[in-house]
Amino acid sequence: MAVRVQEEAFDAGAELNAFSKTGTDVGGIVSFTGLVRDVAGGLDVMEIEHYPAMTERAIAGIVSEAQARWSLADVLVIHRFGKLRAGETIMMVATASKHRADAFAAADFLMDYLKSRAPFWKKETTGEGAAWVESKAEDEDALKRW
Amino acid sequence: MAVRVQEEAFDAGAELNAFSKTGTDVGGIVSFTGLVRDVAGGLDVMEIEHYPAMTERAIAGIVSEAQARWSLADVLVIHRFGKLRAGETIMMVATASKHRADAFAAADFLMDYLKSRAPFWKKETTGEGAAWVESKAEDEDALKRW
Amino acid sequence: MLDVMYFAWVRERIGLPKERVETQAATVMDLVDELRGREERYAAAFADLSALKVAVDQELAEFDAPLKGVREVAFFPPMTGG
Amino acid sequence: MLDVMYFAWVRERIGLPKERVETQAATVMDLVDELRGREERYAAAFADLSALKVAVDQELAEFDAPLKGVREVAFFPPMTGG
């Protein structure tokens, strides 16, 4: 299991390939990559703030919960903070399992929890000014699925 | 949308990175990579047979169904045939969407249908001989989820 | 005239991947019955139809599918892709 | 003595990311009430608690959480990770 919280860009494809060399009892790997979407008016920058003392621990807790619920050979979480532009990769989750159902469910679960329970906040700046991205009721509702 | 059925190995990470340059209205990309698992006794080779005249058409039909059900910016399916060794990548699916729920559901759906409705058959050879991989009742049952 | 194709263990049991078959069979099931009558290896391959699937002109079909106008029929075990 | 931290628009509204607070507050809610009484910018930041979350010693908590033995309290809007 690896959790990385970093400012620097990372190469999602290279991470996926490295993660895929995870052993010969793994039949499937699911990855999710989150990208900065452009917004109406044109995004100048997305700034991601986080709570350093809490972030890695909160993510590790979410990963532990996933490992308790599903049979996982390995889990990877990378999440960036700082300034990003439209199209850049914000974060990535990958899960490796013997069977695909576990890998899919765990990746989906991890994303739902990272979205609403890991201490990151996004601020978008466009030509019209800056605004904090608001959490959505549907993101909180998504947690009830699990 | 791209569907490739090929004998040659491919670089899943490079494919993911190329696929991720799919436009600035994409917020999430889900990928699934299927690997050859080792088996008891040690796998000498996995041989994948397919039905060339039917394969790409069958996969394109499954992809069309996914595109009708979810809002997808792009879909990629790569599936190999021929001889593979333990640890090699058999196939990959990737879905790109504005919102993560669509990307996750579509990738999960595509895998369930590729498993049981795309004309591929796997044969495993170990020190104890060769045997065709049997389909599982749970794979057929998985289709009823959709 | 039909192209009849066999895949995976059906191909191995019958001993060939493809053949041209002269037939008046009205449905896939009629064709199966004709093939079963040919030789033991066909009878063995078609012994348990619940273990087989069929495609008609490269589309999955049922065993009662009509063959009128059809050019290609394929028999195989359940797929194991992915 | 508590370290009190603010993130996102809470930080912007209060105008600082972190401060040391001398308090006898028994719960997070008591602390919030003390802070509200300080200055208008605090009252504004804590106007609608349903829009805020709190972490106590780096774990998500409720507003009625006790502060005995606690070293760090953080206030922030709902997270938007992923």
Asked whether the predicted pLDDT for residue B24 surpasses 90, the reply is: no
| Token code pair at residue A108 | 């989906």
Sheet holding A82-84, edge to edge: A82-84, A43-50, A120-126, A129-132
Closest chain D residue by Cα to residue A47 = D8
Interface contact A114-D5, CB threshold 8 A: no
Alpha-carbon distances of A65 from A2, A69, A99, C73, rounded to whole Å: 14, 6, 18, 50
Domain residue limits, chain D: 2-76
Q: How confident is the model at residue B23 (pLDDT cuts 50, 70, 90)?
A: confident
Is residue B34 in some structural domain? yes
Mean pLDDT calculated for residue range A66-93:
97
Tokens representing A44 are 């100048």
pLDDT band at A30 (very low <50, low <70, confident <90, very high): very high
Confidence label for D19 from pLDDT (cuts 50, 70 and 90): very high
The answer to whether position A27 is within a domain reads: yes
Which pLDDT score is estimated for A80? Answer: 98
CB atoms within 10 A of CB B22: 17
Cα separation, A46 vs A85, whole angstroms = 6
Average pLDDT estimate for B86-111: 97
Residues of chain A contacting D72 with CB distance shorter than 8 Å? 53
Q: Indicate yes or no: CB of A16 within 8 angstroms of CB of B11.
A: no
What is the nearest CA distance from A23 to chain D, expressed in angstroms? 27
Which parts of chain D fold into alpha helices (H)? Answer: 8-14, 28-38, 40-45
Evaluated on CA atoms A132, A137, A138, A141, the torsion sign reads positive
Q: A24 pLDDT exceeds 90?
A: no
Note the pLDDT of residue B39: 87
Does residue A100 lie in a domain region?
yes
> In chain A, which residue's Cα lies nearest the Cα of D58?
A54
CB contact set of B127 (below 8 Å; sequence gap of 6+): B41, B42, B44
B141 inside domain: no
Distance CA C62, CA C74 (A): 12
In a domain, B12, yes or no: yes
- CATH number, domain containing residue A20: 3.90.1170.40
Section D16-35 average pLDDT: 97
Q: Is the distance from CB of B85 to CB of B43 less than 8 angstroms?
A: yes
Task: Inform me whether the pLDDT recorded for A51 exceeds 80.
Answer: yes
Q: Report yes or no on A41 lying in a domain.
A: yes
> In this structure, is residue B140 part of a structural domain?
no
pLDDT at C30: 98
Q: What pairs with residue A95 in β-bridges?
A: A30, A75
- A93 in reach of chain B (CB within 8 A): no
Q: Is the pLDDT of residue D17 over 90?
A: yes
Residue C71: pLDDT over 90: yes
Residue A70 — pLDDT band, cuts 50, 70, 90? very high
Between CA B121 and CA B50 the distance in angstroms is: 6
User: Is A121–D82 a contact, with Cβ atoms under 8 angstroms apart?
Assistant: no
Q: Is the pLDDT of residue A22 over 90?
A: no
Number of folded domains that form chain B: 1
Asked whether the predicted pLDDT for residue B22 surpasses 80, the reply is no
Mean pLDDT taken over chain B: 96
Nearest CA in chain B to C17: B51
Domain that holds residue B45: 2-128
Report pLDDT digits (tens) over C47-59: 999 999 999 999 9
Residues of B in contact with C82 (CB under 8 A): 34, 90-91, 111, 114-115, 118, 120
The reply to whether A138 falls in a domain is no
φ, ψ dihedrals at B74, nearest 5°: -165, 155
Closest CA to B49 of B89, B81, B90: B81
| Max Cα–Cα distance, chain B, nearest Å | 52
ipTM comes to 0.95
Is C2-76 in CATH node 3.10.20.30? yes
